[in-house]
Amino acid sequence: MTELTIAKALNAGLRRAMEHDSRVVLMGEDIGRLGGVFRITDGLQKDFGEHRVIDSPLAESAIVGAAVGLAMRGYRPVVEIQFDGFVYPAFDQIVSQVAKTLRRSEGAVRMPVVIRIPYGGGIGAVEHHSESPEAYFVHTAGLRVLTPSDPGAAYRTIQQAIACDDPVVYLEPKRRYWDKGEVDLAADVRSGDPWCSRLLREGTDVTVACYGPMVRTCLEAASAADVSVEVIDLQSLSPLDLDPVAASVERTGHLVVVHEASKTGGLGAEVAARITERCFYSLEAPVLRVTGYDVPYPASRLEEHFLPDLDRVLDAVDRSLAW
Amino acid sequence: MTELTIAKALNAGLRRAMEHDSRVVLMGEDIGRLGGVFRITDGLQKDFGEHRVIDSPLAESAIVGAAVGLAMRGYRPVVEIQFDGFVYPAFDQIVSQVAKTLRRSEGAVRMPVVIRIPYGGGIGAVEHHSESPEAYFVHTAGLRVLTPSDPGAAYRTIQQAIACDDPVVYLEPKRRYWDKGEVDLAADVRSGDPWCSRLLREGTDVTVACYGPMVRTCLEAASAADVSVEVIDLQSLSPLDLDPVAASVERTGHLVVVHEASKTGGLGAEVAARITERCFYSLEAPVLRVTGYDVPYPASRLEEHFLPDLDRVLDAVDRSLAW
Amino acid sequence: MVDALLGSAVQLLTPEGERVEHPDFDITLTDAELRSLYRDMVLVRRLDAEATALQRQGEIGLWASSLGQEAAQVGSAHSLRSSDYAFPTYRDHGVSWCRGVQPMEILAMFRGITNGGWDPIARRCSLYTIVIGNQVLHAAGYAMGVQLDGADEAVIVYFGDGATDEGDVNEAFVLGADYQLPLVYFCENNQWAISSPRDRFNRAPLYQRAAGFGFPGVRVDGNDILAVMAVTRMALDRARSGGGPTLVEAFTYRMGAHTTSDDPTRYRHAEDLEIWRLRDPIERLKVYLARNGMADRSYFDQVDHEAADLAVLVRDGVRAMAAPAPETMFDHVYVDPTAELVAQRAGLIAYEESFAEGLTA
Amino acid sequence: MVDALLGSAVQLLTPEGERVEHPDFDITLTDAELRSLYRDMVLVRRLDAEATALQRQGEIGLWASSLGQEAAQVGSAHSLRSSDYAFPTYRDHGVSWCRGVQPMEILAMFRGITNGGWDPIARRCSLYTIVIGNQVLHAAGYAMGVQLDGADEAVIVYFGDGATDEGDVNEAFVLGADYQLPLVYFCENNQWAISSPRDRFNRAPLYQRAAGFGFPGVRVDGNDILAVMAVTRMALDRARSGGGPTLVEAFTYRMGAHTTSDDPTRYRHAEDLEIWRLRDPIERLKVYLARNGMADRSYFDQVDHEAADLAVLVRDGVRAMAAPAPETMFDHVYVDPTAELVAQRAGLIAYEESFAEGLTA
Ligand SMILES: Cc1ncc(C[n+]2csc(CCOP(=O)(O)OP(=O)(O)O)c2C)c(N)n1
Ligand SMILES: Cc1ncc(C[n+]2csc(CCOP(=O)(O)OP(=O)(O)O)c2C)c(N)n1
Ligand SMILES: [Mg+2]
Ligand SMILES: [Mg+2]
């Protein structure tokens, strides 16, 4: 086991995937010589060459559209969108082409495309650099959506996303890039299954479901709570794996869902709707949501008030128990 | 009162808005000489001139981006996206600019932009012509989203959308364009408030919430049902007006939400989550959703199986009552 | 007027069917090759006519006619090697035909039983792309792959005059120029984007767009199949030999409605068609073939018979084309279905069966 | 090398500060006007330096430096009438400065207390746009409005060399050409888009992009403020008089990092800067002013003093700039808040107050 940051774990995972399969090519703005603005691809162009780590033009639709074409040719493109707020120019290619090509071609043309996006707030950035767009992708049939929450998961799931024959929107919790954790670099993880929730902390009173950047927040909240909180990292946002959540809620009777994205139409609504349907007679309180507010992501000096924090999670835990 | 189709009611509403306010300009592909592929703008270029009914280039981002600039200049642009599936190239301008400019400018720059989109399936069209993208817009803070369900509502709400100083995504249920209904052309409706649900049919056993093209389906289901079904047309998808739904559910104890869009991450989830939180002790069954499946919109000869119909609504009503 | 617009367009066959010289472009074809060009154009036109009729009869939902654009499509597609790859639009029946896509495969989408219709990898011809401009980026990405493979292949991508307004097409020009891709951008300038006339705004000639991005552009008389082939071949050869991309603007005319849903009388004059009828691509080649003794009456008759047979095949085939089972909509959403989709699929089947039971009960 | 790249760029002042003639462009300015150009460039550079320092001290979160691009920005913005409208990027502090935007208004966004900073309508200068290329379409739409109004106004929009890759910018070229908009596309080609060098791919000169869309493009020495003004003025005059759009490519260099988050040593050589230091836009004008007796030592000293005062004002001003109350994030999401937002706002306030109570209890 090696101690790595999420950033370095992703770098190691990308390297491993490229070593394993020569059809894996990387493409994105500034990912080559610079190694990406977050250095996730650091050193990869030097080691794999300009033909496999491709500095793209400043054009997101082109990046994703070219990935579609590369996949049609049998490549496994892994593209980087520099920041969450810059994925929207590529939205058309993602929704109309990446997500639908397998279906349209009746299985003839696979889209093993990974779209890496650093997402979420908390780093004091300017506008458009702190968005949480996951709900858009989760609502889009044909896409898979993954988000790791610690270095070990990052190392595993980035390789599994690349090995997957379906398109994967891979959301990297940028404020956690520098969080450290143990990674088993020796393990061959490609064949593992990332499409599952992870029970990260057992508890008996309330279940908290979260993902990506909010996982650490929720684990901290659980440690600080004076009740027993079970914490589940959803990890796979599409498809959702709610079996562990339902099983947990059947025991606790209480569920709180936490995400940074705005509340209305966010993933919390889907989790709430499904769990309520599955666990109608177990729930002792409605599923509560702790989320960003329904406002454009605010200027950075206000973001701490926008982002769910430990106290807001605990507050919801209390409200659920007091229902 | 005059009997009109939704298409003609929209045309009359647009005409009225243009007569009333010379800052209202229309822009879109083929909307001028041709009058739009659905003829919604028929005759308007002839009567108001090429400078107010502008045939645009074939470029959706340009259409919406130009609308932003026109609004900055004090105009009230009403743009047409030819079909639902072609709004995605404009998604970036909608999410990053249309939705955020008022907030970014701290109120200095208003965005009275209306983005008209014929949406939904059921007309036997080829791919990309039957999408229901409303969840994307509802999740985007800063946008308002409206969808009319009958000619009277169309005539009223299109004018109210244009009179609104916020940006409005105006979703027109294309399969209902030719549905007829009574319209009061004499009434001055501009100052009315479209941001509300409409109780369309009273009932006591189950509440059905729906919108746009599904309203007629649900009304027909209610007529056919052997229980008493209350039907509420949400009409304003953002902001949602759930007071009438909550009031209804407190009486019926049962709620079914119906939409064409895919289930996961669809609007039904939000309605379910909110109503469950508000009416936790009144609900005798979980909120059930009748929706399109989580697949890309299918080829047209399969669409009748994808789209919720009268029987699927009744089936959900039964399941809710039998819970 | 057309001639003025055609401007510097490459021409090897006049509208009257006379062979002319061009300083930069030439082509030599055998009589058999010339005949097969004629044959393909006639058959594609017949396919188009039948499809239009089938739409009127309600057998297919929509049809986008290729009428008048046969030389541009058949000529360019004939220039491809079988190892090359083509990305057509929804109107390029002449292209898919030449790639070996079967008539029923082409019609399946318009009948509404699939959003695809053929195996794009086997045919080396992508499915029709409906979102304007999207496929131009796919072609650029595919060409990047060809380049990475070091393969002796070229890629051709089709799009309309209207499509050049879209961001995607221009971003694809950037990709082509940046990476010097083995790619031919083939723009069928048929003068109309639905109701929007190309010359409405006195726009710059489309082929000139290329120079601003850093690669050559050339305008060809799109109703002259010899010129189309000469220009496209040269562009494909350039592509394969590492010379980078070329924009070919085939100057032609959409003789029909935009699609069967369209009513062009609302925005263009019937007279405008007359001038283009005189420039018909099939008649032009026919006159040339006949005048030069490359084909005779019996050959033309034989082709007409083939066309009549095709018409029967198409009519019968389309009517026989049944919709797949409803639950097939759950196939191929993902390579392996998710648990949620397995459940939704089962729900649909059970639901449909409940009616069947109801009926038998 | 730079000179080779500059190619046909319009120049009126050599890097050595010598006035030269150009066959097509000229400009006559009073000594006072020339001095004010110098003054604005010096002040903008000082603002830039202070902001960079404040970022290092953690007082602002990020800064995008305009270092080296002062002539392009100040020269073009000085060419505007007050009734014209400007659409700058995040780097165009020289532009916003000349439009009368106050230093604290510029810095507010970088300090993270707003995503805006000033009233764009009052300043006739839009807010900085961060999504690359978006504002070019806004400018086109705004120019459509100017045209509809029949107003004697022009619009200028700024964007970088990298931005020309984006679909939006090219779609904006289509709009400009189609409607012959009163618009000047002002591209600051500073040779870099973060780590991506402009000449990486031997791309076509940027100003040539215009011709392919049907309007003129011109390259100007972006470090020569006289040439920038001469070219921009002519383009603005053309725009106002119905002549349609122009693309101006100001050939310059990004002397600093992309932003304070960037580390350019990873992708470019320090030596490359040397050649551009010799082409410094401020020094060039200073030499010209001094050599021709248009300004003397005392004037230069006075400007330096003004710059020092500005620095103090900026430092103190930024440190004093407090974050607004948390609940202001709910303001101006809609013109009138929705019921849901009223409730969420109340929830936030109550929640924050619960801590205050906790503290006092
Ligand atoms: C992104 C997008 N916007 C709008 C449409 C609707 N539409 C279909 S064809 C067409 C015109 C296309 O014109 P052109 O590119 O010249 O091709 P042509 O139909 O003439 O072959 C339009 C606007 C679409 N399919 N995709
Ligand atoms: C749509 C979008 N993609 C990516 C980015 C991230 N980004 C910010 S600046 C920049 C480079 C811009 O280069 P250029 O247009 O030359 O302007 P310059 O910064 O050199 O002034 C990039 C890629 C962005 N802001 N917007
Ligand atoms: Mg066309
Ligand atoms: Mg630059």
pLDDT of C219 over the 50 cut: yes
Structure tokens at D268: 């470019």
**What does pLDDT average to over chain B?**
98
Residues 6+ apart with CB under 8 A from A248: A199, A207, A230, A232, A255
CA quadruple D20, D23, D27, D28: dihedral, nearest 10: 70
How far apart are the C-alpha atoms of D359 and D353, rounded to whole Å? 10
Distance CA D228, CA D34 (A): 13
Neighbours of D40 (CB within 10 A): 21
- Between CA D67 and CA D56 the distance in angstroms is 16
Q: Is C193 in the pocket of ligand 1 (CB under 6 A)?
A: yes
Whole-model pTM: value is 0.98
What is the number of other CB atoms lying within 10 angstroms of the CB of residue D309? 12
Q: Could you give the CA distance from residue C55 to residue B25 in angstroms, rounded to a whole number?
A: 36
Mutate to test the interface with A, among D55, D105, D127, D131 (most CBs of A within 10 A): D131
CA distances from D77 to C288, D92, D154, D176 (A): 62, 10, 12, 20
From D204's Cα to the closest Cα of chain C, the distance in A is 5
Confidence of residue B139 (pLDDT cuts 50, 70, 90): very high
Separation between Cα atoms, residue A112 and residue C291, nearest integer Å: 54
Helix, strand, or coil (residue D217): strand
Beta strands C192-193 and C196-197 are: antiparallel
DSSP result, A244-264 = HHHHHHHHH--EEEEEEEEST
* Alpha-carbon gap, residue C302 to C284, rounded angstroms: 18
Chain D residues within 8 A (CB-CB) of chain C? 164-168, 170-171, 174, 177-180, 200-204, 208-214
Which ligand has an atom closest to residue A55 CA?
A: 2
Chosen for mutation from D170, D180, D206, D249 (greatest number of chain C CBs closer than 10 Å) is D170
List per-residue pLDDT tens for chain A, 323 residues long.
899 999 999 999 999 999 999 999 999 999 999 999 999 999 999 999 999 999 999 999 999 999 999 999 999 999 999 999 999 999 999 999 999 999 999 999 999 999 999 999 999 999 999 999 999 999 999 999 999 999 999 999 999 999 999 999 999 999 999 999 999 999 999 889 999 999 999 999 999 999 999 999 999 999 999 999 999 999 999 999 999 999 999 999 999 999 999 999 999 999 999 999 999 999 999 999 999 999 999 999 999 999 999 999 999 999 999 99
Q: Report CA torsion sign: A260, A264, A270, A271.
A: positive
Q: Report which secondary-structure segment, H or E, holds B27.
A: strand B24-28
**Cα nearest neighbour of C167 on chain B:** B59
Q: Of D37, D36, D39, D35, whose CA–CA distance to D307 is shortest?
A: D39
Give the C-alpha separation, D221 to D286, whole Å. 17
How high is the mean pLDDT of chain C?
A: 95
The neighbouring-strand residues paired with D247 are D185, D217
* d(CA D164, nearest CA chain C) in Å: 9
* Distance between CA atoms of residues A246 and A253, nearest Å: 10
Q: Are strands A144-146 and A236-238 parallel, antiparallel or unpaired?
A: antiparallel
**What is the pLDDT at residue B172?**
99
Q: Is D299 a catalytic residue?
A: no
Alpha carbon distance B152, B12 (integer Å): 11
Which domains does chain A carry? 2-183 (3.40.50.970), 198-321 (3.40.50.920)
Active-site residue set of B: 129
Is the distance from CB of C247 to CB of D212 less than 8 angstroms?
Answer: no
Token couple for B9: 């009611």
- Under DSSP, the state recorded for D188 is E
d(CA D136, CA D132): 9
Give yes or no for residue C163 CB within 6 A of ligand 1: yes
- Record the tokens describing residue C337, joined without a space: 């279905």
Give φ, ψ of D35 to 5 degrees. -65, -40
Q: Is the ipTM of this complex over 0.95?
A: yes
Q: What are phi and psi of A291, to 5 degrees?
A: -145, 175
Residue B167 vs residues B102, C323, D117: alpha-carbon distances, Å? 10, 41, 22
User: In the numeric block, which tokens belong to residue D320?
Assistant: 């004093």
pLDDT band at C201 (very low <50, low <70, confident <90, very high): low
Probe target for ligand 1 pocket from B58, B64, B87, with the most ligand atoms within 8 Å of CB: B58
B84 lines ligand 1 (CB under 6 A): no
Strands D246-251 and D183-189: parallel
* Of residues D119, D122, D175, nearest to B57 (C-beta): D175
Q: A53-62, B174-183, C265-274 — which is least confidently predicted?
A: C265-274
In this predicted model, what pLDDT tens digit does every residue of B188-247 receive, in sequence order? Answer: 998 899 999 999 999 999 999 999 999 999 999 999 999 999 999 999 999 999 999 999
d(CA B163, CA B212): 21
Ligand 2 mean position, distance from CA D32 (Å): 36
Backbone angles phi, psi at A290, to 5 degrees: -115, 115
| Mean pLDDT, contiguous 10-residue spans, chain D (361 residues) | 74 96 96 98 98 97 98 98 98 98 98 98 97 98 98 98 98 97 98 92 88 97 98 98 98 97 93 93 98 96 98 97 97 98 97 77 45
To the nearest 10°, report the CA torsion of B57, B138, A118, A299: 100
User: Angle at CA D197, nearest 5°, toward D195 and D200?
Assistant: 130
The H-or-E segment that residue B158 falls in is: helix B151-163
Chain A neighbours (≥3 Cβ pairs under 8 A) are B, C, D
Tell me the average pLDDT across C318-331.
97
How far is B241 from B252, CA to CA, in rounded Å? Answer: 18
Query: Which protein residues are within 6 Å of ligand 2, measured from CB?
Result: A 29, 58, 60, 82, 86, 89; D 91, 130-132, 160-163, 190, 192-194, 254, 258
Q: Which ligand sits nearest to residue C169's alpha carbon?
A: 1
pLDDT of residue C357 exceeding 80: no
Q: Is the pLDDT of residue B310 over 80?
A: yes
Strand order of the β-sheet with C217-221 is: C85-87, C155-160, C183-189, C246-251, C217-221
One-character DSSP codes across C304-342: HHHHHHHHHHHHHHHHH-PPPPGGGGGTTSSSS--HHHH
How many CA atoms, within 13 angstroms, populate the side-chain half-sphere of residue C239?
Answer: 34
The pLDDT value recorded for residue C2 is: 64
Local confidence band at B85 (pLDDT 50, 70, 90 cut-offs): very high
Residue entry with tokens 């995607």: C168
For residues B223 and B260, the answer to whether their CB atoms sit within 8 Å is no
By the 8 A CB rule, do A71 and A111 touch?
A: yes
- Check residue C361 and give its pLDDT: 45
pLDDT on residue D361: 45
Token pair listed for D226:
């006289």
Are D85 and D153 within 8 A, CB to CB? yes
Task: Confirm if B60 and B72 have CB atoms less than 8 A apart.
Answer: no
